[in-house]
Structure 1
């Protein structure tokens, strides 16, 4: 049995004819205005296509804005025009309600599309210009999926809520599903977000020399799950992004100079004047190689040596040059000390013989008995 408010097709048709006959002038004006609004939105969309440029162009804010406007759908433009002029034409309540319903759908999903383009564009702009193009290209497909799913899930919830649907259960279900997926793929997402953290926070970049734990290596590639490095000794190192970020990382790339510390031990029998002149000798050796002398001097009295410490800086932070200069300074010190008659110490022990009463005695007779023929 039909409800009291239900209208049969004949009644709907009759109402439509009455509306057209009574408001034909307003309908024509509204239709013209709607066409003009659509043309204006289409021109804005076309302008966005020109702004977005060509593949390979510099990714500025104008390009991001162009990409966003270029993604405006025809359905949205039609519904915007219809919604803006619908009130002027005095349409039947059913038609106006339908226009509002379709406009709500178009607006919600169009905003989701725009936000998607803005977020992805800003991510690319932030990373490609900083030299992470390869890493971003590998991660972009997954980032695009995550951003799209998140935005359109929110759009669906907002749309249903505007249509009067109770979305409490849906939101709770999405939350539980998200938690389950997150726990199942915890390791993958941990490394992925660590990769994104490396891209955005930039603790290091590809090509930089870094040190972590006891390893010094050059970064060769930053992937979605792991970072590949080439150790100074030649080995290839692979470490997960999450594990790498948990370590204390020292970047050697921004160094203007590198500090070298030498420990030098000489024998206690070294003459006092030569022992006193050693810091000046070391300064001359360092400056003769074009390096930066910092300081030198005695640091302790060792068990079998008089211990000095030399500190100097190598202006070129490159690991190879650093190693070579350390070698050259070492050879120069060795040659200079040999020329000056300064002996390097090595572990020695002196034994003393004592009598039962504790007095030191010579291990041999003080006055050897002369041999008789």
Structure 2
């Protein structure tokens, strides 16, 4: 038969005795080490003032003109975010050993210093990361609106990640078993990532566009069979205006998977003309056509590349003309091609060179396969046509 244990009585006078003992030891420490305490407080004030001066220097680095996106601005912004609690705890931790305090006071100061240092490091890291992101992508690159929309989410993600790590570090220093907490955060992050996979893929694609700059707002790009001007780069999709006027919306992840050709950075654009002339053109005129084309292109102010006969077509002699237009703008490119084409048509008309069009010649054959005329043969006698019988 199991014996029933008697409840252990609680000594209600233990806590007052502990408080009295702590007060007695503190009073004794203050009376015995008063000079050391005085020197430690003085040293702590000097350390605090030195850190405060460094913090003020960081603020002045922020306001330095002409360096809004420089590394010094990023470093200054991080230094300026040093909080007063951290400054006090740094000063206290550096001088506490000299004052030889009671063990409880020393442990308390060490614990508070750990908390202040960990969270201050998280604040510095957040400012440096966000500053580098803003430095990497500026508004003048054409991504200002997109970056402004993304910065709120980026700031939230960076802050959550850094302060979650700081909390885990503090709990670990307190002796708490954080293995389960870390595992829970990891599983939760995986679940959220899988649930919002499409959203995050488009978001990171938008950040890739901001950082890598494959194109900017206002540029004319070509993907698949579409040529359009970029109007807006959002967090999930990019909006474009096609050359025919339609508004096109495509997800960022899908857009980056395609081969993109940017027409904005072209110093010049190549124009290729195909020309077909009739086979009845004389040898002299056929040989002079490349030089005629060169004269036409240079007269219009463009860069002539080459021209010549490229193939014998079914009903034409096919020539090809290549020249460069120095203006990459699509409208000017179209007008330039129009001007050259019209000049070619006028010059060929003046030279008596005929453009070919599809033609077909029919031949009539006798039963034995020999070619015969499709009409009775005639002879001319004294200016009059007579039929041969």
- For this structure pair, what is the TM-score category when the shorter chain's length is used for normalisation? over 0.9
Q: Which residue of 2 is the match for residue 12 of structure 1?
A: 22
Cα displacement string for residues 132-176 of structure 1 (whole angstroms, at most 9, x for unaligned residues): 222211111111101101111111122222333222221111111
The yes-or-no answer on 1:183 pairing with 2:194 is yes
The yes-or-no answer on 1:63 pairing with 2:73 is yes
Q: Which residue of 2 is the match for residue 137 of structure 1?
A: 148
Cα displacement string for residues 227-252 of structure 1 (whole angstroms, at most 9, x for unaligned residues): 22222222222222111111111111
| Structure 2 runs not aligned, ≥5 long | 1-9, 380-384
Question: How far apart, in 2, do the equivalents of 1:56 and 1:178 lie?
Answer: 41
Question: How far apart, in 2, do the equivalents of 1:344 and 1:219 lie?
Answer: 40
Cα gap change, 1:94 to 1:272, in 2 (>3 Å): same
- Aligned-residue offset at 1:221: 1.8
Q: Which residue of 2 is the match for residue 123 of structure 1?
A: 133
Q: Which residue of 1 is the match for residue 253 of structure 2?
A: 242
The yes-or-no answer on 1:299 pairing with 2:275 is no
Q: Which residue of 1 is the match for residue 6 of structure 2?
A: none
Q: How does 1:191-340 map to 2 (within 5 A)?
A: 191-340=202-351
Question: Counterpart of 2:321 in 1: which secondary structure?
Answer: strand
Question: How far apart, in 2, do the equivalents of 1:162 and 1:349 lie?
Answer: 94
Cα gap change, 1:137 to 1:55, in 2 (>3 Å): farther
- Aligned-residue offset at 1:178: 0.7
1:97 to 107, 110, 123: 107
Deviation larger for 148-157 or 109-118 = 148-157
Q: Which residue of 1 is the match for residue 382 of structure 2?
A: none
Q: Which residue of 1 is the match for residue 84 of structure 2?
A: 74
Deviation larger for 304-313 or 66-75 = 66-75
Q: Which residue of 2 is the match for residue 53 of structure 1?
A: 63
Question: How far apart, in 2, do the equivalents of 1:273 and 1:162 lie?
Answer: 95
- Aligned-residue offset at 1:62: 2.2
Q: Which residue of 1 is the match for residue 170 of structure 2?
A: 159
2:35 to 12, 25, 29: 25
Taking structure 2 as the reference length, what is the TM-score of the superposition? 0.90
Q: Which residue of 2 is the match for residue 354 of structure 1?
A: 365
Cα displacement string for residues 48-89 of structure 1 (whole angstroms, at most 9, x for unaligned residues): 223222999823222212211111111111111111011101
* Root-mean-square deviation over aligned CA pairs: 2.2
Whether the 8 Å contact between 2:378 and 2:387 is mirrored in structure 1 is no
For the pair shown, which has the larger CA radius of gyration, 1 or 2? 2
Q: Which residue of 2 is the match for residue 173 of structure 1?
A: 184
Question: Counterpart of 2:36 in 1: which secondary structure?
Answer: helix
Whether the 8 Å contact between 2:228 and 2:242 is mirrored in structure 1 is yes
Whether the 8 Å contact between 2:377 and 2:387 is mirrored in structure 1 is no
Question: How far apart, in 2, do the equivalents of 1:170 and 1:362 lie?
Answer: 101
Q: Which residue of 2 is the match for residue 37 of structure 1?
A: 47
Cα displacement string for residues 236-276 of structure 1 (whole angstroms, at most 9, x for unaligned residues): 22222111111111111211110000011111111111111
Count of aligned pairs: 371
- Aligned-residue offset at 1:307: 0.7
Structure 1: 4+ residue segments shifted above 3 A: 54-57, 367-372
Deviation larger for 358-367 or 173-182 = 358-367
Cα gap change, 1:130 to 1:370, in 2 (>3 Å): closer
Cα gap change, 1:56 to 1:224, in 2 (>3 Å): farther
Question: How far apart, in 2, do the equivalents of 1:45 and 1:190 lie?
Answer: 39
Question: How far apart, in 2, do the equivalents of 1:287 and 1:371 lie?
Answer: 57
Question: How far apart, in 2, do the equivalents of 1:231 and 1:12 lie?
Answer: 79
